[in-house]
Amino acid sequence: MSGVFSVRAWSKVWVYRETFVLGLCNTIKTAVTALIIALVLGIIFGLMATSKKKILVLISRVYVEVIQNTPVLLQMCFLYYALAFSGHSLGIIATGFLALGIYTGAYMAEVIRTGIESVPKGQFEAAYSQGFSYIERMYYIILPQSIKVILPPMVNTIVNMIKNTSCLYIVGGADLLSLTYSFVTGENTGGSYAPAYILCGTIFFLICFPLSSLATTWETSLKKRDNRNAAIKEA
Amino acid sequence: MDTFGNSLSMLKEPAIIGFILKGVLFTLIISVVSVLVSIAFGTILALLRSYCTGRRTRIFKLFAGIYVELFRNTPLLFWIFICLVFCPCPEALNRPMFGLTSVNNKLLFKACVALILYTSGVIAEIVRSGLNSVAYGQMEAGHSQGFNMLQIIWYIVLPQAFRTIIPTLLSQVITTVKDSSFLANVAVIELMARTKQILSAANRYNGTNSINVSDVFVLFGTAALIYFIINFSLSMTVRRMQSKKKRVIPVSKGE
């Protein structure tokens, strides 16, 4: 662990601090865009999975299974090389958020499907009998009830997605981790392994830890409330 | 897509098929070994985190907690990079083995260590949820029978905890098979890395002297299909186990 206490190594990191800021910006940019794509895909395919049309359910199943059972790295490589060799290269970050968005979208779809399925069937029927249209039914009746089931696992999915931005490394990488790696192995900047990795790890931890602990506490408090309600019902 | 036939002909070459299959073998071995070691390590972490609540042993609980949170909130690739630099490697691996050069062997070992460290953080949380599901009365019953703490954990708590978490552990195997593709980043030769290697040399094999889009589709399609077959069969097993469990145990109230 040479270099943890070396002033020279730390000052080198300080001199090149813009590398890390750039990496962080790229990671955040990728993560936010991917999140938007994932949410859109997740809502569309989640609703399709809970619809009555067999064909829509089938399409959504195929999407979720194919994406969830293959590595995100492979999807990203595939997208990048397929675009590059056909001459429509989008650039690294665009490829990154597209691939990540599609990958995370499959997980979002599952989360949303479980959320909607957790609402008792009578609620759908009651809303239908009151003359609500599909959108009104979803927006006024189903969404408020399923949101508390959906949000905790959704936050966990987001944490995983933030960690997965490091996949960009394989297609040439401009994210935080890739830039850290090229910093520590670079010809002019190389050598200060420990400080650079400590900095990069701390940034990731500071982003992900609050989110994942929020999800955990949220989940436990919801479970406790459900248990209490069940106990009241039984009594 | 007029070069599609040429690309497909690559898959007929025995050398390439063998190369890919060896990659599959490595992927499987890496995943299975990592999961098994991680289960052992993760169980220890979970036990420390759950049962070291005494005044003197609280420090272990703290360490286990820090370990789990640290590894759960940082990317796997981060730990792979760190292990490549800082992880010590036993001298025994410093020679050609399993058809790999000594450099590749060392890489494989270091990357596997990273994968194990990362996976045990996740598995520790899974095991802990299993430990929480074991009713507290079981421990009291064990104490009243004169078992000591280790015996209670080994004979009473762990068997029940593992029975409840087996489906979750199997899903974690799926994740680990997928995560093992991260090792391709540092040129460990498993399925993903080999696919990339073949692609970069595709112009020599497909007879058109250039790398075409169809090569990307064929090669990555094959790799995706292999990953899909492995993971989908696993996830089917998980689903069958879960539906069986629901049938055997009637739905309990208040869960």
CATH number at residue A129: 1.10.3720.10
User: Which pLDDT tens digits describe chain B residue by residue (255 residues)?
Assistant: 566 777 777 777 778 888 888 888 888 888 999 999 999 999 999 999 888 777 888 888 899 999 999 998 999 988 988 888 887 877 776 777 766 777 778 888 888 899 999 999 999 999 998 998 888 888 888 889 888 888 888 888 898 898 888 888 888 888 899 888 888 877 677 888 888 888 877 777 766 667 777 778 888 888 899 999 999 998 888 888 888 776 655 444 443
Q: What is the mean pLDDT of chain A?
A: 85
Question: Do the domain assignments include residue B244?
Answer: no
Q: What is the ipTM of this complex?
A: 0.85
Structurally, how many domains does chain B consist of? 1
Å between B147 CA and nearest CA of chain A: 32
Enumerate long-range contacts of B94-97, CB under 8 Å, 24 or more apart.
none
A197 vs B74: CB contact, 8 Å cut-off?
no
Structurally, how many domains does chain A consist of? 1
Residue B43's pLDDT is 93
- Angular region, B212: left φ>0, alpha ψ -120 to 50, beta rest: beta
State yes or no: pLDDT of A104 exceeds 90. yes
Question: Do the domain assignments include residue B82?
Answer: yes
Surface of B (201-220) touching A: CB under 8 A: 211-213, 215-217, 220
Residue B2's pLDDT is 63
Å between B181 CA and nearest CA of chain A: 7
A70 interfaces chain B, CB cutoff of 8 Å: yes
Tell the burial category of B156 from Cβ atoms under 10 Å away from its Cβ (0-12, 13-18, 19+). Answer: middle
What does the alpha-carbon distance between residue B205 and residue A215 come to, in Å, rounded to a whole number? 50
Question: Do the domain assignments include residue A2?
Answer: no
A65 interfaces chain B, CB cutoff of 8 Å: yes
Å between A134 CA and nearest CA of chain B: 31
Residue A50's pLDDT is 87
Q: What's the rounded mean pLDDT across residues A151-169?
A: 89
Phi, psi (degrees; rounded to nearest 5) at A5: -105, 5
Tell the burial category of B24 from Cβ atoms under 10 Å away from its Cβ (0-12, 13-18, 19+). Answer: middle
pLDDT digits (tens, 9 = 90+) for A34-72: 999 999 999 999 999 988 889 999 999 999 999 999 999
Question: Do the domain assignments include residue A75?
Answer: yes
Least confident of A3-17, A126-140, A203-217, B152-166: A3-17
Asked if B78 and A201 count as a contact pair (C-beta separation under 8 A), the reply is yes
Question: Do the domain assignments include residue B210?
Answer: no
Asked if A167 and B192 count as a contact pair (C-beta separation under 8 A), the reply is no
Question: Do the domain assignments include residue A86?
Answer: yes
In DSSP notation, B175-191 reads HHHHHGGGGGGGT--SH
A205 vs B73: CB contact, 8 Å cut-off?
yes
Question: Do the domain assignments include residue A81?
Answer: yes
HSE-up of residue A76 (Cα within 13 Å, Cβ side):
30
Q: What's the rounded mean pLDDT across residues A185-207?
A: 81
Question: Do the domain assignments include residue A1?
Answer: no
Q: What's the rounded mean pLDDT across residues A27-31?
A: 89
Q: Which domain covers residue B155, as residue numbers? A: 14-199
B178 vs A169: CB contact, 8 Å cut-off?
no
Question: Who wins on pLDDT, A116 or A18?
Answer: A116
What does the alpha-carbon distance between residue A110 and residue B239 come to, in Å, rounded to a whole number? 14
Q: Which domain covers residue A101, as residue numbers? A: 7-234
Q: Name the nearest CA neighbour of B166 among B123, B111, B228, B116.
A: B123
Asked if B192 and B223 count as a contact pair (C-beta separation under 8 A), the reply is yes
CB pairs under 8 A between A and B: 115
Question: Do the domain assignments include residue B28?
Answer: yes
In DSSP notation, B63-94 reads HHHHHHHHHHTS-HHHHHHHHHHH----GGGS
Phi, psi (degrees; rounded to nearest 5) at B89: -125, 130
B78 vs A227: CB contact, 8 Å cut-off?
no
Which ranges in chain B belong to alpha helices (H)? 4-10, 14-51, 58-72, 76-86, 102-133, 136-144, 149-151, 158-179, 191-200, 202-205, 213-248
A166 vs B181: CB contact, 8 Å cut-off?
no
B233 interfaces chain A, CB cutoff of 8 Å: no
Q: Which CATH number does the domain housing residue B29 bear?
A: 1.10.3720.10
Question: Do the domain assignments include residue A182?
Answer: yes
